[in-house]
Structure 1
């Protein structure tokens, strides 16, 4: 039942994010509270303490992306809500699945909107910046970016990536448990 409620909340978040690039606070706050309550009263594998820890970890995993303006606060709060449902044991695998799905989603959206080249240039720019751009001046001159912050390739409804990453991770984790 807990997973079913989580999936319904994630579908609602996807719809909100897709329609307006905004996930409502009422959804994530009530969903987080519901995750705590369901884990306190119904589940044996995730208790209230694990639910609280999962929520905090979920928040902390996406917080750097929000602070660097790569994603909105609603996405961070949504991942915290997911952590309240799945607990500390599953939130890291959910996060990793979400990153993979988010990367694929970014590629598809950029391709459809004609920004794939800019997305690739921005990725290379960030990679080279991390390694020190000054050492790679010759490579940097061949890109369509400068040493200034690259232009955005547009908005991405990352709530969709969180939902698909969560459902995929939980499906893989639960099917593995069934096989064992």
Structure 2
């Protein structure tokens, strides 16, 4: 039962991350409401994981990771290098991902951030005229919607976690007992 609830919350987090990515791309804003919802989903998922494993270590690592990310990114917000929504979103991601998969998230974030920067700096790589025009507008304003690569990396990391959880559950016969 805990596995099903955890998977449901992770699926809801993926949908909310997709919404955040679209909102950040189209308006360059990440709402506090969405970040708080993500935090609640992440805490619930970590709580379910802690009940399954009997260890609260992952929740502690996530809390420390979120705090470190907030403290590290806050000066960049003060210097106007990143937006406040990006800082808050990055601070919440460790609660969604869990402490054990932060390395996977970091590698995915690196890949998606480089891809985003390349698209913003080289809009001629894009096929559609309107999309190219929009990205050129973002480039002229000096704005990069960093919530998009953060959300994409988090979605991929959560999807990998869900896949792994289902494979472990299937291999141990838990899903066969439910049928």
TM-score by length of 1: 0.63
Cα RMSD, aligned residues only: 3.2
User: Is the contact made by 1:63 and 1:76 (CA closer than 8 Å) also made in structure 2?
Assistant: no
User: Is the contact made by 1:23 and 1:75 (CA closer than 8 Å) also made in structure 2?
Assistant: yes
Deviation at 1:12, TM superposition (A): 1.6
1:70 is paired with a residue whose SS is: coil
Residue in 2 that maps onto 1:51: 59
Please state which structure has a larger fraction of its residues in helix: 2
Deviation at 1:52, TM superposition (A): 4.9
Residue in 2 that maps onto 1:10: 17
Deviation at 1:7, TM superposition (A): 0.2
User: Is the contact made by 2:9 and 2:44 (CA closer than 8 Å) also made in structure 1?
Assistant: no
TM-score by length of 2: 0.64
In the alignment, structure 2 segments of 5+ residues that lack a partner are: 1-7, 126-139, 172-179
In the alignment, structure 1 segments of 5+ residues that lack a partner are: 115-151
Q: Deviations over 1:121-145 (max 9, x none)?
A: xxxxxxxxxxxxxxxxxxxxxxxxx
Residue in 2 that maps onto 1:31: 38
User: Is the contact made by 1:58 and 1:81 (CA closer than 8 Å) also made in structure 2?
Assistant: yes
User: Are positions 1:159 and 2:147 aligned together?
Assistant: yes
Between the aligned partners of 1:76 and 1:24, the Cα distance in structure 2 is 12
User: Is the contact made by 1:31 and 1:81 (CA closer than 8 Å) also made in structure 2?
Assistant: yes
- The count of residues paired between Structure 1 and Structure 2 equals 142
Deviation at 1:176, TM superposition (A): 6.6
**Stretch of structure 1 that moved more, 162-171 or 53-62:** 53-62
Deviation at 1:172, TM superposition (A): 4.6
Where in structure 1 do 4 or more consecutive aligned residues deviate above 6 Å?
none
